[in-house]
């Protein structure tokens, strides 16, 4: 049934909600009670009688025995097992127990239950929370199992728990930060893509920064306990503002909800079904599910979320999907690529604003009818900047002469058609040539380009504009006039696994364009490289080096750095800017996603420890490339030495 819909289109996994149940060997009845009359989508049910211990059964019945599983595989259809049942592995299991019998029983039971779940074609199994601070044997055994799994996911249950330094300990004498335990477990299992987190949401939440780490981890489900709910004025369960915020965050990251625990709210019978946001009625005289009001509230939170904007819906398929950056000098863009970029009206409106301001500064009102400004669009593509320039001239009442310089012969065909269609033949001159090789017949007052990449200079804007600025007047204006790249450390478990799946060095030394979504941004961005245009300095070089130090907020706790997210911000002209750096990004612009620089080995940063990273922009005769490394808290190798894996061709 699902929790409802957002905007009549939503197909997110998070619209499904499950319920945690006790052991019951009548699985069809268990399924019917929780799904048919209630609206839950799946059950999380124990697969084995909780009293079962392999050693006791062997002692009683000799060598051959059948574990007391919850019914035969025949009691449900294969599709019911697969779609509506998540196996809950016995919670008594303790593979790191000091007691050898308990440890051996635990390993036997775990493997038996996983084998049975595989036989039933379950999509996932919920693994119990590790009992102590040490979980090496548990993780080793799970890692063994993962090597033989085909499609099933294993969800490791982890409480969302991090006590502050000055707060009393919670639940355990040793456990201060449950993320540490998860991190140890996933490192032993080598970040296996079929190992995920089932996060227990407790009544007390850690800091916002601490919670933020989990958005970069593979959290598949959030388990909300009934004792985490408050009671509203009408007697119904509800959640605190901070709980609502984290649940909404998980909804946005396609995390499914599971409701767990016994009902703690005695809802008056006469109010059942009367509340607009908690509707409930008995169906076919089936008894009302005791957790129905909790499910209704979670559904209410889901349905009141803002529907995704049109831009977000377009970008949905690109979330956390690695793409190789463009090679605009080596390769000619295809029509489809041009069309995608040309749809970004916000970008061209910013350019038009910048050109209008430059024209007004360049030509006074008194000279408007007599002075013609020479404007050159270098890298004109199929003409959107030509159009923006002419619209700026019309808006300001200035006269314009335009040169449209484009190296792609296919785009030049479209340019000629556009000029003829719009009647611009007397204003626009089309030049089919690489801007670095063109000998201009006259000098330009304004040089306009859109050569920026996700990292600012990564599509060789500096090299192109260096070649083009020779035909700009000494007092001429370049649009953009400057741009700066930025980076920040991120947790990005999915991106790391996607890179790792290629099983080679090259992919770990490549920068990717990616619509970041399932990531945790661990510290604010810092500027890396800046380029200014025009640049008439005599000792000019486009090589750059920067050492940066990031401080991850202490209340975050430890965090895993899988790589660095890169952005840019550009000054087009004076106060008109354009960019994707998160704190000052141009709203509703979609021409650029972030860039991702992976690390070959993720680095764990402890609270209060500085993260020191080095970035180089290197230039050769035929290519430009980046190199990067971390030196603190522990050194990493230099990535992409000599551009051996990734470069941009000149």
Residue 467 CA: distances (Å) to CA of 215, 243, 379, 475, 606? 44, 56, 12, 17, 46
Longest Cα separation, the chain: 106
Cα–chain-centroid distance for residue 48?
Answer: 37
SS3 383: coil
Which distant-in-sequence residues (6+ apart) come within 8 Å of 182 by Cβ? 156, 158, 197, 217
Q: Is 190 a catalytic residue?
A: no
Q: Is 450 a catalytic residue?
A: yes
152 labelled as ligand-binding?
no
Separation CA 227–CA 207 (nearest Å): 20
Token pair, residue 134, equals 């040490």
Out of 450, 463, 509, 581, the active site residue is: 450
Half-sphere exposure of 290 toward its Cβ, with a 13 Å CA cutoff?
A: 10
Dihedral through CA 302, CA 306, CA 309, CA 312, nearest 10?
A: -50
User: In 379-494, which ranges are E strands?
Assistant: 399-406, 428-432, 444-449, 472-479, 482-491
435 labelled as ligand-binding?
yes
Separation CA 613–CA 610 (nearest Å): 10
113 labelled as ligand-binding?
no
Token pair, residue 232, equals 């509203």
Q: If you search the block for the tokens 């396609």, which residue do you land on?
A: 254
Separation CA 336–CA 374 (nearest Å): 31
Out of 20, 113, 217, 459, the active site residue is: 459
Residue 416 CA: distances (Å) to CA of 337, 431, 450? 19, 10, 20
347 labelled as ligand-binding?
yes
Task: Give me the DSSP letters along 141-204.
Answer: HHHHHHHH-SS-EEEEEEE--B--TTSPP-S-SS-SBHHHHHHHHHHHTTT-TTEEEEEEE-SS
Token pair, residue 54, equals 């392999």
Asked whether the beta carbons of 301 and 239 are under 8 A apart, the reply is yes
Token pair, residue 585, equals 């990004």
| Helix spans in 263-332 (H) | 292-303, 310-315
Cα–chain-centroid distance for residue 453?
Answer: 19
SS3 52: coil
Asked whether the beta carbons of 469 and 478 are under 8 A apart, the reply is yes
200 labelled as ligand-binding?
no
Which distant-in-sequence residues (6+ apart) come within 8 Å of 197 by Cβ? 155, 156, 158, 182, 214, 217, 218, 219, 220
52 labelled as ligand-binding?
no
Asked whether the beta carbons of 487 and 549 are under 8 A apart, the reply is no
Asked whether the beta carbons of 576 and 509 are under 8 A apart, the reply is no
Which distant-in-sequence residues (6+ apart) come within 8 Å of 288 by Cβ? 272, 280, 282
Query: Which active-site residues does the annotation give?
Result: 450, 459
Which residue ranges make up the annotated binding site? 338, 347-348, 406, 434-435
Which residue ranges make up the annotated binding site for S-adenosyl-L-methionine? 338, 347-348, 406, 434-435
């Amino acid at each position: 049934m699902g929790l409802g819909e957002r905007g009549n289109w939503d197909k997110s996994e998070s619209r499904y909600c499950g319920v945690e149940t006790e052991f019951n060997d009548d699985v069809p009845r268990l399924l019917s009670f929780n799904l048919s009359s209630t609206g839950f989508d799946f059950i999380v049910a124990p697969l084995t009688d909780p009293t079962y211990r392999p050693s006791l059964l062997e002692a009683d019945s000799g060598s051959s025995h059948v574990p007391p599983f919850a019914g035969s595989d025949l009691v449900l259809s294969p599709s019911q097992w697969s779609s509506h049942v998540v196996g809950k592995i016995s919670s008594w299991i303790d593979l790191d127990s000091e007691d050898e019998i308990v440890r051996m029983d635990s390993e036997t039971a775990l493997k038996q239950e996983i084998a049975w779940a595989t036989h039933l074609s379950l999509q996932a199994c919920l693994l119990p929370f590790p009992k102590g601070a040490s979980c090496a044997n548990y993780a080793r055994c799970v890692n063994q199992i993962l090597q033989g799994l085909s499609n099933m996911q294993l969800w490791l249950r982890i409480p969302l728990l991090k006590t502050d330094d000055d707060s009393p300990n919670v639940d355990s004498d040793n456990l201060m930060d449950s993320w540490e335990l998860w991190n140890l477990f996933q490192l032993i299992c080598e970040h296996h893509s079929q190992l995920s987190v089932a996060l227990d949401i407790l009544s007390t939440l850690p800091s916002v920064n601490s919670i933020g780490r989990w958005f970069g981890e593979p959290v598949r489900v959030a388990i909300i306990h009934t004792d985490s709910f408050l009671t509203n004025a009408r007697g119904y369960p509800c959640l605190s503002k901070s709980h609502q915020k984290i649940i909404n965050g998980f909804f946005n990251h396609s995390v499914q909800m599971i409701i767990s625990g016994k009902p703690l709210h005695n809802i008056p019978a006469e109010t059942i079904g009367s509340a607009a946001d908690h509707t409930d009625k008995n169906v076919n005289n089936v008894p009302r599910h005791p957790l129905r009001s909790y499910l209704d509230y979670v559904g209410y939170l889901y349905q009141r979320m803002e529907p995704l904007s049109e831009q977000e819906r377009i970008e949905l398929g690109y979330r956390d999907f690695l793409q190789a950056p463009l090679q605009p000098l080596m390769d000619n863009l295809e029509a489809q690529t041009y069309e995608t970029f040309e749809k970004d009206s916000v970008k061209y409106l910013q350019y038009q604003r910048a050109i209008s301001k430059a024209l007004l500064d360049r030509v006074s009102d008194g000279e408007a009818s007599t002075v013609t400004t020479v404007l050159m669009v270098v890298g004109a593509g199929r003409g959107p900047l030509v159009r923006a320039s002419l619209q700026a001239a019309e808006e300001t009442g200035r006269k314009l002469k335009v040169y449209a310089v484009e190296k792609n012969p296919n785009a030049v065909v479209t340019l000629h058609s556009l000029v003829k269609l719009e009647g611009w033949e007397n204003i626009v001159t089309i030049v089919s040539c690489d801007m670095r090789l063109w000998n201009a017949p006259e000098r330009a007052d304004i040089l306009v380009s859109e050569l920026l990449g996700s990292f600012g200079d990564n599509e060789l804007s500096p090299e192109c504009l260096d070649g083009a600025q020779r035909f700009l007047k000494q007092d001429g204006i370049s649009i953009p006039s400057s741009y700066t790249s930025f980076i920040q450390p991120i947790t990005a478990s999915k991106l790391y696994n996607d890179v790792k799946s290629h099983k080679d060095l090259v992919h770990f030394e490549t920068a990717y364009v990616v619509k970041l979504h399932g990531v945790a941004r661990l510290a604010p961005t810092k500027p890396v490289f800046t380029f200014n245009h025009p640049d008439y300095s005599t000792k000019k070089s486009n090589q750059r080096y920067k050492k940066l130090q990031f401080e991850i907020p202490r209340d975050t706790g430890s965090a895993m750095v899988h790589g660095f997210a890169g952005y840019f911000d550009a000054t087009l002209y004076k106060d008109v800017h354009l960019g994707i750096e998160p704190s000052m990004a141009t709203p509703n612009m979609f021409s650029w996603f972030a860039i991702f620089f992976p690390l070959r080995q993720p680095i764990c940063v402890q609270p209060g420890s500085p993260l020191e990273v080095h970035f180089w922009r290197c230039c050769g005769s035929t290519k430009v490339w980046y190199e990067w490394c971390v030196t603190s808290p522990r050194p990493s190798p230099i990535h992409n030495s000599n551009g051996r894996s990734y470069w941009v061709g000149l």
